[in-house]
Amino acid sequence: MKSTEKSFGTKEIAATALLLSICIASQIFKNLSVFITGPIVNTCIILTVLLVNLPCALAMCAITPVTAYFIASSPVMQAVPGIVPLIMLGNAVLAVAVRFLFKPTVMEEDGIVNIKSVIMAFLSSCLKGIVMAVTISLWLLPKYISEDSPLHANLGKLQMTFSAIQLATALIGFVYVFILLIPIRRMMDNPSD
């Protein structure tokens, strides 16, 4: 797979716009299940790092929580809007981890799915999960959801959503990436086919 980080033009803008539009469209289903939107957003962030570049992925990391807030804002996002920049941070940690840990392993000659790429996918997912668990689940939610808040009864569920479920949706996103990279790599290696 050829790296696209050295050049940036119309194809890269189009790829970023397409992946961002997929993220935004998936947010319609956010309140239906986090296991629909979460993996799609994570997949798009990862693919943007791999196929375009890290700055475009970081822009996507900043845009998608804001669009989620306006498209399908959950009660916790409305009650604690400070959650939005921390979601941005978690997504950015994933993008940076993908760039420096995962991307070098999928560019190797021994194939997309190899033991190193699987380990780096798991590690990248863990980093996102840990950052979101510490900043949102352990700090922000307990601090800003008071005992008299109607959300307090669901605090444990909310903490799980912004920790273990973030890890799970990132892992599912990597599974989608492994599946999608096989035809994408063939297409990029043989553009005339």
| Domains, the chain, with CATH or none | 10-189 (1.10.1760)
Q: What percent of the chain has pLDDT over 70?
A: 94
How many residues would you count in the chain? 193
Q: For the CA atoms of the chain, what is the radius of gyration?
A: 17
CA distances from 190 to 10, 43, 45, 109, 184 (A): 20, 23, 24, 16, 10
Residue 3's pLDDT band (boundaries 50, 70, 90)?
very low
Is residue 53 within 8 A of residue 5, CB to CB? The reply is: yes
Alpha carbon 142 to chain centroid, angstroms: 24
**In this predicted structure, what is the pLDDT of residue 107?**
75
Reported as a single tens digit per residue, the pLDDT across 165-189 is 999 999 999 999 999 998 888 887 7
Mean pLDDT check: name the lowest of 34-48, 107-121, 145-159: 107-121
Would you say 30 and 14 are in contact if contact means Cβ atoms under 8 Å apart?
no
- In percent, how much of the chain has pLDDT > 90? 72
Confidence of residue 4 (pLDDT cuts 50, 70, 90): very low
What is d(CA 136, CA 86) in angstroms, rounded to the nearest whole number?
7
Confidence category of residue 106, pLDDT binned at 50, 70, 90:
confident
pTM for this one?
A: 0.92
CA angle 43-98-186, nearest 5°?
65
